[in-house]
Amino acid sequence: MNIGILSKRNTMMAGRLRDCLENKGHTVSIYTLKNLIINNSLLNNDFYILKSKSLFFLYAGFFLEVNNIPVFPKPQISFMQKNRIQSHFLMKRIGLLTPKIYLGTVDTFRNQLDLKDFPFILKPIMGSGSKGVRIIRSYDDLKSKNNTILYLEKYVNGIHYTVYFIANEICTLIKPPLSNEHVDMEKIETPEDIRNLIQKWRNYFKGDVLFGHLDIVREKSNNKLYVVDPGSFPEFTNWKCRISPVESICNLILEKYTNLKKN
């Protein structure tokens, strides 16, 4: 088969996926900003792997779907996880706990937020992971120009987890607060309530979410789990469980495509 990978880079996970698929006898092309143009030339591949959630690659994914070329993960699911407002309401729809959010300008926040509400987490509306994320402890930390709309999230004090999943395999790690997935993390046995949360997340998508991760905080005072960030395609940098993430992801995608063509 001819397979395309939409990715910001041709190394790291994208490169490992290419090598794995080529070893299985497939022809693989990686499309980065250097060689991606959204036109009919993309329709020569059988299916695509959407590694990046950057908007340009999402646009390519939507273009491919309209032209009946399968994309894994689905662009709409990836977009909902990149847009933090959409992901917040998505998690509420699923029935998961997520921190209270605030949207407004700096002036609005200064006039309406109470000192007792601090601290908050400032996050880019479009983004994932820890890029552009910082803690807001007072009004002085709120800075913006031109009445930009800011996204604030109530800070949850507790144990921070990154929880990877590939099909039914779950890898749970304790991580430093506000850190990305590349810092060193401590693997733990997956608690039953986290396992149930991951299952609830996956069940909502009815087989369209094969793998991913959730950043979760266990609130210190009440032991409840809050989902603070979903991820459709992490690098699996800290994967420390028994299966190979790259091999497993390739097999899942190939199986999904085969079943799709049968139907």
pLDDT (tens digit per residue) in 225-242: 999 999 999 999 999 998
Q: Is the pTM of this model over 0.85?
A: yes
Pull the structure tokens for residue 56. 């340009």
Distances in whole angstroms, Cα of residue 117 to Cα of each of 37, 87, 155, 255:
46, 22, 9, 48
Q: Quick one: average pLDDT of 203-219?
A: 97
Is the pLDDT score of 115 beyond 80? no
**Of 78, 182, 64, nearest to 126 (Cα)?**
78
**Region(s) of the chain under CATH 3.40.50.20:** 2-72
**Region(s) of the chain under CATH 3.30.470.20:** 81-97+157-245
d(C-alpha 102, C-alpha 122), whole Å: 10
Distances in whole angstroms, Cα of residue 97 to Cα of each of 14, 72, 162, 186, 223:
32, 27, 16, 24, 12
Average pLDDT over all residues of the chain: 94
Residue 58: CA count within 13 A, CB half-sphere: 16
Residues 6+ apart with CB under 8 A from 207: 256
Q: Quick one: average pLDDT of 203-216?
A: 97
Side chain identity, residue 24: K
In this structure, which topology does domain 2-72 adopt according to CATH? Rossmann fold (3.40.50)
In this structure, which topology does domain 81-97+157-245 adopt according to CATH? D-amino Acid Aminotransferase; Chain A, domain 1 (3.30.470)
d(C-alpha 224, C-alpha 260), whole Å: 38
Please tell me the predicted confidence (pLDDT) of residue 242: 87
Given a contact cutoff of 8 angstroms between Cβ atoms, the answer to whether 154 and 137 are in contact is no
pLDDT digit string, tens, across residues 126-173: 977 677 899 999 888 887 777 889 999 999 999 999 999 999 999 999
